[in-house]
């Protein structure tokens, strides 16, 4: 019996997903285990496989199946898969195949050069690679087309429906509220003592605690693993192989502990997507903003809360150095929630985190729009850090070189972090209406929270658009006021202003 067009289409998607999984595994290996000399040849292999994905996405077979299935299938999953594949086809076919392969190879090499440049504080060594990446992305934006700002074409890759117009309306309002809170905190009568958290904290002990917390969150180690890397990330090869990475700092356990929980939030999303979506473009998070809402929800709304530490502080002390036994819970909780402008985004406190994102957004928007050039970035970065956070990096490794995103060509990604934080606050507000949130966390049983997130967000994969998810779950569109209210209430209680 001959296969139907629908079956042939699904088989083609499975072939594409298989190549993508192989690419993902190689990317994970390059960022965790691969020897230095393997980077260039591995980059070439990724380029070849990525070209194959490009060919499938833009093939005559794909074009034929999309034409035949549009408006004819009655299966919701197939209808959505056709929609997703069609959009990918229409965007991808505009990029010449050879140019796409060259770009993917450049991405892999640039990530390796970025890691070296960061280690050696060598922006000029990385600059030529970044200039090429920017040039490609400007060109891709023109290929794809846009209505108002060239950057909109790149935003669409990460947060469909969000534009420069939306961000330029929301971000300044949030920035004003956050900088106002920051000023109040600086003059507050009570100040946490971060020195309580200092000293040597062995990596092995941090790893043991992080491992235990991931398990309690519901992360399935039979479908994942925890590894070390320069810049933490989570990667979903498929729902049965979702890997978490972290970075250990023996002088500050917060980097690894909260970073691992953050990446664990991403991983829970990928592990709990409906299995029926496997081997389709729908078997992943619906947007980077919704993805970030999950990681930030777990990192901040759960793990930085007082109820979390009321339950987990004894477990923490069982892994921590002896000096923590004399630190009372209240002082510890305030210390891990200290607000202090910092140089490093992934180490930023809850309040200043979004300011880091807005700096990056403004720079890359101007970069893609042609208002600034790559050589201008270090100086402009330092100026914005001074204006927004009142501090200036002493070197580029702690400044413009700190993030991996630009080395991978991920322009348009950064706004998703701040949007994700706003989504998370809105979800948190809704969840508190349905369960006694603090009591659940205080008991240390996260199954109710995990199930709620799975039922309303995770299981849908890309079956729903990001703003559709937010509206369906919360009953309203994006509302940044929930984030401002949450931060105001939390820090007024800690700092007594």
Q: Could you say which of 1.10.1370.30, 1.10.230.10, 1.10.10.60, 3.40.630.10 is the CATH number of the domain covering 164-495?
A: 1.10.1370.30
User: For residues 73 and 71, what is the distance between their CA atoms, to the nearest angstrom?
Assistant: 6
Strand partners, 234: 244
Q: Residue 427 belongs to what H/E stretch? A: helix 415-434
Find out whether 246 and 256 touch, Cβ atoms under 8 Å. yes
State the chain's mean pLDDT as an integer. Answer: 95
Find out whether 416 and 159 touch, Cβ atoms under 8 Å. yes
pLDDT beyond 90 at 73: no
Q: Which of 207, 263, 299, 362 is catalytic?
A: 263
User: What angle, rounded to 10 degrees, do the helices at 97-120 and 5-32 form?
Assistant: 20
Q: What is the pLDDT of residues 248-262, one digit of tens each?
A: 999 999 999 999 999
User: CB within 8 A of 364, min separation 6: which ones?
Assistant: 151, 406, 411, 412, 414
DSSP, res 237: E
The residue-averaged pLDDT of 37-61 equals 93
User: For residues 63 and 48, what is the distance between their CA atoms, to the nearest angstrom?
Assistant: 22
Q: What is the pLDDT of residues 184-197, one digit of tens each?
A: 999 999 999 999 99
% of residues, the chain, pLDDT over 70: 100
User: For residues 166 and 361, what is the distance between their CA atoms, to the nearest angstrom?
Assistant: 13
The residue-averaged pLDDT of 134-152 equals 96
Does 263 participate in catalysis according to the annotation? Answer: yes
Positive or negative, the Cα torsion across 333, 339, 340, 343? Answer: positive
Largest CA distance in the chain: 78
* Measured torsion, CA atoms of residues 362, 363, 364, 368, in degrees rounded to the nearest 10: 100
Give which of 90, 94, 76, 91 is closest to 462, Cα–Cα: 76
The residue-averaged pLDDT of 22-41 equals 93
User: Residue 486 has which token pair?
Assistant: 């949450």
Give which of 12, 130, 135 is closest to 63, Cα–Cα: 12
The residue-averaged pLDDT of 78-100 equals 93
Q: What is the pLDDT of residues 459-477, one digit of tens each?
A: 999 999 999 999 999 999 9
Q: What is the pLDDT of residues 283-308, one digit of tens each?
A: 999 999 999 999 999 999 999 999 99
User: For residues 51 and 99, what is the distance between their CA atoms, to the nearest angstrom?
Assistant: 9
User: For residues 200 and 182, what is the distance between their CA atoms, to the nearest angstrom?
Assistant: 29
Residue keyed to tokens 């790149």: 154
pLDDT beyond 50 at 478: yes
Given this model, what pLDDT does residue 272 score? 98
pLDDT: which is higher, 171 or 39: 171
User: For residues 30 and 38, what is the distance between their CA atoms, to the nearest angstrom?
Assistant: 8
pLDDT beyond 90 at 378: yes
User: What angle, rounded to 10 degrees, do the helices at 415-434 and 288-296 form?
Assistant: 60
The residue-averaged pLDDT of 483-497 equals 96
DSSP, res 2: P
Ramachandran area for residue 256 (φ above 0: left; ψ -120 to 50: alpha; else beta): alpha
User: CB within 8 A of 250, min separation 6: which ones?
Assistant: 200, 201, 202, 203, 206
Given this model, what pLDDT does residue 479 score? 94
Given this model, what pLDDT does residue 1 score? 43
Given this model, what pLDDT does residue 3 score? 83
The residue-averaged pLDDT of 432-437 equals 96
Q: Helix or strand or coil: residue 146?
A: coil
Every domain of the chain and the residues it spans: 5-145, 164-495
- CB atoms inside a 10 Å sphere around CB 119: 11
pLDDT beyond 80 at 136: yes
pLDDT beyond 90 at 480: yes
* Residue 61 pLDDT class (50, 70, 90 cuts): very high
Given this model, what pLDDT does residue 235 score? 97
User: For residues 446 and 380, what is the distance between their CA atoms, to the nearest angstrom?
Assistant: 43
Given this model, what pLDDT does residue 2 score? 63
User: CB within 8 A of 163, min separation 6: which ones?
Assistant: 147, 148, 149, 152, 155
Distance of CA 298 to the CA centre of its chain: 13
Stretch among 96-110, 123-137, 477-491 having the lowest mean pLDDT: 96-110
Number of residues written out for the chain: 497
Report the predicted TM-score, pTM, of the whole model to 2 decimal places.
0.91
User: CB within 8 A of 113, min separation 6: which ones?
Assistant: 125, 126, 129, 407
Q: What DSSP line would sit under 169-225, residue for residue?
A: HHHHHHHHHHHHHHHHHHT-S----GGGG-S---HHHHHHHHHHHHHHHT--GGG--
Positive or negative, the Cα torsion across 425, 430, 433, 434? Answer: negative
453-467 as b/e: b if 16+ CB within 10 A: bbebbbbbbbbbbbb
């Amino acid at each position: 019996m001959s296969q139907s067009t629908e079956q042939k289409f699904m088989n083609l998607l499975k072939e594409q997903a298989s190549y993508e999984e192989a690419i993902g595994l190689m990317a994970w290996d390059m960022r965790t285990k691969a020897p230095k000399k393997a980077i260039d040849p591995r980059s070439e292999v990724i380029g070849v496989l990525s070209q194959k994905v490009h060919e499938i996405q833009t093939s005559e077979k794909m074009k034929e199946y999309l034409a035949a299935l549009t408006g004819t299938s009655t299966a919701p999953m197939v209808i959505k898969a056709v929609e997703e594949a069609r959009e990918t086809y229409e965007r991808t076919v505009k990029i010449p195949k050879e140019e796409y392969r060259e770009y993917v190879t450049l991405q892999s090499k640039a990530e390796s050069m970025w890691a070296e440049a960061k280690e050696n504080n060598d922006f000029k060594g990385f600059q030529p690679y970044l200039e090429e990446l920017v040039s490609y992305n400007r060109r891709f934006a023109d290929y794809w087309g846009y209505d108002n700002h060239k950057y909109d074409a790149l935003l669409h890759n990460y947060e469909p429906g969000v534009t420069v117009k939306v961000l330029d309306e929301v971000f300044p309002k949030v920035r004003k509220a956050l900088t106002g809170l920051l000023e109040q905190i600086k003059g507050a009568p009570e100040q946490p003592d971060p020195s309580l958290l200092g000293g040597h904290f062995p990596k092995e002990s941090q790893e043991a605690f992080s491992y235990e917390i991931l398990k309690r969150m519901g992360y399935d180690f039979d479908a994942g693993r925890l590894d070390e890397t320069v810049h933490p990330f989570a990667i979903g090869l498929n729902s049965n192989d979702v890997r978490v990475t972290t970075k250990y700092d023996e002088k500050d356990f917060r980097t690894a502990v909260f970073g691992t929980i953050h990446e664990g939030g991403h991983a829970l999303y990928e592990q709990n997507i409906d299995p029926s979506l496997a081997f389709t473009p729908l078997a992943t998070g619906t947007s980077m903003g919704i993805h970030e809402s999950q990681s930030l929800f777990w990192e901040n709304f759960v793990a930085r809360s007082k109820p979390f530490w009321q339950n987990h502080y004894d477990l923490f002390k069982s892994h921590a150095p002896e000096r923590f036994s004399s630190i009372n819970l209240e002082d510890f909780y305030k210390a891990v929630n200290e607000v202090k402008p910092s140089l490093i985004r992934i180490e930023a406190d809850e309040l200043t985190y979004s300011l880091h994102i807005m700096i990056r957004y403004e720079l890359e928007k101007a970069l893609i729009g042609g208002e600034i050039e790559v050589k201008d970035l270090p100086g402009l970065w330092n100026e914005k850090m001074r204006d927004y956070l009142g501090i200036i990096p002493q070197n580029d490794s702690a400044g413009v070189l700190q993030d991996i995103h630009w080395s991978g060509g991920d322009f348009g990604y950064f706004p998703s972090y701040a949007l994700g934080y706003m989504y998370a606050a809105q979800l948190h507000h809704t969840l508190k209406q349905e369960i006694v949130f603090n009591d659940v966390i205080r008991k240390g049983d996260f199954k109710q929270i995990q199930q709620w997130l799975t039922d309303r967000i995770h299981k849908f994969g890309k079956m729903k658009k990001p703003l559709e998810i937010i509206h369906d779950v919360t009953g309203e569109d994006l509302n940044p006021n929930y984030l401002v209210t949450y931060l105001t209430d939390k820090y007024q209680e800690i700092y007594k202003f």
